[in-house]
Amino acid sequence: MLLDQLIGQERATTVLRNAIRRGRVAHAYLFRGPESVGKSTAALLFAQYLNCEAIRAGEDGRACGRCRSCRLIEKRSHPDVRFLTPSDDSDQSVIPIERIREEFVYDVNLRPVIGRYKIYVIDPADRTAPLAIHTVLKALEEPPRYTVIVLVTSVPASLPPTIPSRCQQIAFQLAGTDAVEQHLLTLALDPAEAASLARLSGGRIAWAIRAAQRPEVLAARRNLLDLCAGLKERGLPGSLRAAEEIKLQAAGLARAAVEAGSDSSAEEDTSGVGTAAVGERAVRGELPWCLDVIVSWYRDLLAAGQGGSLLNPDYKSALGQEVGTAACRRAERAIERILATRRAIQRNANLDLALESLAIELVGGE
Ligand SMILES: [Zn+2]
| Continuous segment of H or E residues that includes residue 162 | helix 162-165
Q: Which residues make beta-bridge pairs with 149?
A: 28, 120
Q: Which residues make beta-bridge pairs with 153?
A: 32
Phi-psi domain of 318 (left: phi exceeds 0; alpha: psi -120 through 50; beta: other) = alpha
From the CA of 75, how far away is ligand 1's center (Å)?
Answer: 13
pLDDT of residue 263: 45
**Distances in Å between the alpha carbon of 251 and those of 260, 290, 293?**
14, 10, 15
pLDDT of residue 346: 85
Per DSSP, the three-state class of 56 is coil
- Domain end among 154, 171, 188: 171
Percent share of the chain, pLDDT over 70: 92
> For the chain, which ranges sit under pLDDT 70?
56-61, 88-92, 261-277, 365-366
From the CA of 50, how far away is ligand 1's center (Å)?
Answer: 9
Residue 121 domain boundaries: 3-171
What type of residue sits at position 44?
Answer: L
156 and 219 share a domain?
no
CATH at 231: 1.20.272
- Domain end among 147, 171, 195: 171
271 and 162 share a domain?
no
pLDDT of residue 266: 40
222 and 352 share a domain?
yes
Whether 228 maps to a domain, the answer reads yes
Cα–Cα distance between 201 and 104 in angstroms, integer? 35
pLDDT of residue 65: 87
Whether 113 maps to a domain, the answer reads yes
162 and 14 share a domain?
yes
Whether 202 maps to a domain, the answer reads no
pLDDT of residue 335: 94
155 and 23 share a domain?
yes
Cα–Cα distance between 293 and 105 in angstroms, integer? 45
From the CA of 109, how far away is ligand 1's center (Å)?
Answer: 25
141 and 283 share a domain?
no
Q: Name residues whose C-beta falls within 8 Å of residue 306's C-beta, 6 or more positions apart in sequence.
A: none
From the CA of 166, how far away is ligand 1's center (Å)?
Answer: 29
pLDDT of residue 176: 92
> With contact defined as beta carbons under 8 Å apart, do 138 and 115 qualify?
no
> With contact defined as beta carbons under 8 Å apart, do 148 and 50 qualify?
yes
Whether 198 maps to a domain, the answer reads no
The reply to whether the predicted model has a pTM over 0.75 is: no
Q: Name residues whose C-beta falls within 8 Å of residue 102's C-beta, 6 or more positions apart in sequence.
A: none
> With contact defined as beta carbons under 8 Å apart, do 355 and 334 qualify?
no
From the CA of 119, how far away is ligand 1's center (Å)?
Answer: 15
Number of structural domains (the chain) is: 2
From the number of C-beta atoms within 10 Å of its C-beta (0-12, 13-18, 19+), residue 275 rates as exposed
From the CA of 78, how far away is ligand 1's center (Å)?
Answer: 12
- Domain end among 120, 147, 171: 171
pLDDT tens for 49-105 read 999 998 764 456 678 889 999 999 999 999 999 999 987 665 567 898 889 999 998
Whether 199 maps to a domain, the answer reads no
Whether 180 maps to a domain, the answer reads no
From the CA of 234, how far away is ligand 1's center (Å)?
Answer: 58
pLDDT of residue 180: 92
pLDDT of residue 89: 61
- CA 127 distance to own-chain centroid: 16
**Distances in Å between the alpha carbon of 321 and those of 64, 66, 233?**
53, 53, 12
pLDDT of residue 258: 77
DSSP code at position 128? B
153 and 11 share a domain?
yes
> With contact defined as beta carbons under 8 Å apart, do 104 and 139 qualify?
yes
From the CA of 60, how far away is ligand 1's center (Å)?
Answer: 13
Identify which of 362, 145, 349 has the alpha carbon closest to the alpha carbon of residue 236.
Answer: 362
76 and 136 share a domain?
yes
Q: Name residues whose C-beta falls within 8 Å of residue 105's C-beta, 6 or more positions apart in sequence.
A: 135, 139
Give the orientation angle of helix 205-213 with respect to helix 191-201, to 10 degrees.
140
pLDDT of residue 61: 62
pLDDT of residue 229: 92
Average pLDDT, the chain: 86
From the CA of 68, how far away is ligand 1's center (Å)?
Answer: 7
Whether 200 maps to a domain, the answer reads no
From the CA of 4, how far away is ligand 1's center (Å)?
Answer: 15
pLDDT of residue 268: 38
Cα–Cα distance between 49 and 45 in angstroms, integer? 6
257 and 167 share a domain?
no
105 and 241 share a domain?
no
Whether 188 maps to a domain, the answer reads no
CATH at 131: 3.40.50.300
132 and 272 share a domain?
no
358 and 221 share a domain?
yes
* Length, in residues, of the chain: 366
From the CA of 51, how far away is ligand 1's center (Å)?
Answer: 7
